[in-house]
Amino acid sequence: MKNLFYLSLAITMCVSCQKHNVLTEAEKAEGWELLFDGATLNGWRDYNDTGLTAPWTVEKGTLAALGKGDDGNGYIVTKNSYENFILTFDWKISKGGNGGVLYHVVERPQYKVPYLTGPEFQIIDNIGYRETKGQLEDWQTACVDYAMYTGDPEATQAHLKPAGEWNSSRIVFDNGHVEHWVNDFKVVELEAWTEDWFQRKNGGKWENAPEYGLARKGLISLQDHGDQSWYRNLKIKKLPRKTKEIDLFNGNDLTGWDIYGTEKWYVQDGLLICESGPDKQYGYLATREYYDEFELTADFKQDADGNSGIFFRSIIEEGVKISGWQVEVAPPNHDSGGIYESYGRGWLVQIPDEKENVLQMGKWNTMKIRVQGDHVTTWLNDTQMVDLQDEKIGNAQGRIALQIHSGGGIKVSWKNLKIKQL
Distance of CA 5 to the CA centre of its chain: 53
> What's the pLDDT band for 17 if we cut at 50, 70, 90?
low
The residue among 4 and 392 whose pLDDT is bigger is 392
Mean pLDDT of 308-312: 97
**295 CB neighbour count, 10 Å cutoff:** 16
DSSP 129-198: HHHHT----GGGSTTSBTTTB---HHHHHHHPPPTTS-EEEEEEEETTEEEEEETTEEEEEEETTSHHHH
Please say whether the dihedral angle defined by the alpha carbons of residues 205, 208, 209 and 211, taken in this order, is positive or negative. positive
| pLDDT over threshold 90, residue 54 | yes
Nearest to 231 by CA among 70, 59, 53: 59
Read off the pLDDT of residues 271-292 as tens digits, 9 standing for 90 and up.
Answer: 999 999 999 999 999 999 999 9
Nearest to 41 by CA among 15, 16, 66, 68: 66
Read off the pLDDT of residues 254-269 as tens digits, 9 standing for 90 and up.
Answer: 999 999 999 999 999 9
| pLDDT over threshold 50, residue 8 | no
pLDDT for the residue 344? 85
Mean pLDDT of 3-20: 51
| pLDDT over threshold 60, residue 319 | yes
Mean pLDDT of 4-12: 43
Beta strand pairing call for 383-389 and 399-404 = unpaired
Read off the pLDDT of residues 151-183 as tens digits, 9 standing for 90 and up.
Answer: 999 999 999 999 999 999 999 999 999 999 999
Read off the pLDDT of residues 372-399 as tens digits, 9 standing for 90 and up.
Answer: 999 999 999 999 999 999 999 999 999 9
Cα–Cα distance measured from residue 70 to residue 91, given in angstroms and rounded to the nearest whole number:
19
pLDDT for the residue 104? 98
Contacts of 50 (CB under 8 A, 6+ apart): none
Nearest to 233 by CA among 62, 382, 402: 62
Share of the chain above pLDDT 90, in %: 91
Read off the pLDDT of residues 180-231 as tens digits, 9 standing for 90 and up.
Answer: 999 999 999 999 999 999 999 998 899 999 999 999 999 999 999 999 999 9
Contacts of 171 (CB under 8 A, 6+ apart): 85, 86, 87, 101, 103, 121, 178, 179, 180, 181
Amino acid 359 reads L
| Averaged pLDDT score across all residues of the chain | 94
Structural domains of the chain sorted by starting position, each given as residue range(s) with its CATH number in brackets: 20-238 (2.60.120.560), 245-421 (2.60.120.560)
Read off the pLDDT of residues 73-129 as tens digits, 9 standing for 90 and up.
Answer: 999 999 999 999 999 999 999 999 999 999 999 999 889 999 999 999 999 999 999
pLDDT for the residue 343? 82
pLDDT for the residue 14? 43
